[in-house]
Amino acid sequence: MSKIIVMMGAPGAGKGTQARLIAERCGYPQISTGDILREMARADTPLGHEIKATQAAGRLVSDEVLAEIMLARTSQPDCRDGYILDGFPRTLEQTRLLEDIAKRQEKSILVLKVVVPRDSLMKRLTGRRTCTRCGEIYNIYLRPPRVEGICDLDGAPLAQRSDDRAETVSTRLEAYERSTAPLIDYYRRSGRLIEIDGERPVTEVFEDLCAVLEKAGDC
């Protein structure tokens, strides 16, 4: 049975960093709802403006918008053999939708939770810089590029996300605790959750994730 791999964890836990590596290794597409929404927020439309304001404030975008995105994206041909979800589901309603999608597509769900203590998250988020061309993720304190402000991979400039300012980060962490953390218990109870210590170098976390995926026959 093909798989839906769900990356879970607090903002800044390293979901995106690890999802990119897993996607490269396993050949599944990485579906980042944050990236899709940031792209939609660039449109000069009422929906684009609403998403931009919601993300900048660190609040969650509505379940209706997320449902439209997910139904469209997961029915693309590249998702046929499996895919990696980075940032979805985040609410009970979204969890229900994912169960429906998995059932309809005859796929099983494996949830990988990257666990990082709250104290480390602030440094990770406020120090994050992302390549404006390829999306590679850096951190000015923990994983700096070779040349300041420039991507090692393609030489494009790096940018800071609008929601990575200290005051917005607190709102995002609260939204996570309130709406998303309770879902972890649901997946744990159904035996589909694996927790990985994310407070280690990126390569070590990745090795652990690969071991889990190999054991499950997914990569």
By the criterion CB under 6 A, which residues form the site for ligand AP5?
9, 11-17, 33-34, 37, 54-55, 58-61, 66, 87-88, 90, 94, 124-125, 127-128, 137-139, 142-143, 163, 172, 198, 201-202, 205
Among the options 161, 165, 188, 192, which is catalytic? 161
Q: H/E element holding 7?
A: strand 3-8
Among the options 3, 20, 90, 107, which is catalytic? 90
User: With respect to ligand AP5, which residue has the nearer C-beta, 2 or 135?
Assistant: 135
For the packed helices 46-57 and 166-175, what is the interaxial angle rounded to 10 degrees? 100
User: With respect to ligand AP5, which residue has the nearer C-beta, 209 or 219?
Assistant: 209
User: With respect to ligand AP5, which residue has the nearer C-beta, 38 or 217?
Assistant: 38
Q: Which pair of tokens denotes residue 138?
A: 């850096």
Q: Distance (Å, rounded) from C-alpha 121 to C-alpha 83?
A: 26
CB 33 within 8 A of CB 88: yes
User: With respect to ligand AP5, which residue has the nearer C-beta, 123 or 217?
Assistant: 123
Q: Which pair of tokens denotes residue 27?
A: 């050949």
Beta carbon of residue 111, minimum distance to ligand AP5 (angstroms, whole number)? 14
User: Any catalytic annotation for residue 90?
Assistant: yes
Apex 162 CA angle, 20 and 195, nearest 5: 40
Edge to edge, what strands does the sheet with 108-115 contain? 30-32, 82-86, 3-8, 108-115, 193-197
Sequence letter at residue 206 = F
User: With respect to ligand AP5, which residue has the nearer C-beta, 109 or 191?
Assistant: 109
Beta carbon of residue 58, minimum distance to ligand AP5 (angstroms, whole number)? 5
Beta carbon of residue 2, minimum distance to ligand AP5 (angstroms, whole number)? 22
User: Any catalytic annotation for residue 172?
Assistant: yes
Beta carbon of residue 217, minimum distance to ligand AP5 (angstroms, whole number)? 25
Residue whose Cβ sits closest to ligand AP5: 34
Beta carbon of residue 180, minimum distance to ligand AP5 (angstroms, whole number)? 8
Among the options 3, 20, 129, 172, which is catalytic? 172
User: Any catalytic annotation for residue 25?
Assistant: no
CB 106 within 8 A of CB 135: no
Among the options 20, 107, 124, 128, which is catalytic? 128
Among the options 3, 15, 20, 124, which is catalytic? 15
Beta carbons within 10 angstroms of residue 85's beta carbon: 24
User: Any catalytic annotation for residue 124?
Assistant: no
Listed in sequence order, the DSSP H helices in the chain are 15-26, 33-40, 46-57, 63-73, 92-105, 118-126, 166-175, 181-189, 202-215
Catalytically active residues, by annotation = 15, 90, 128, 161, 172
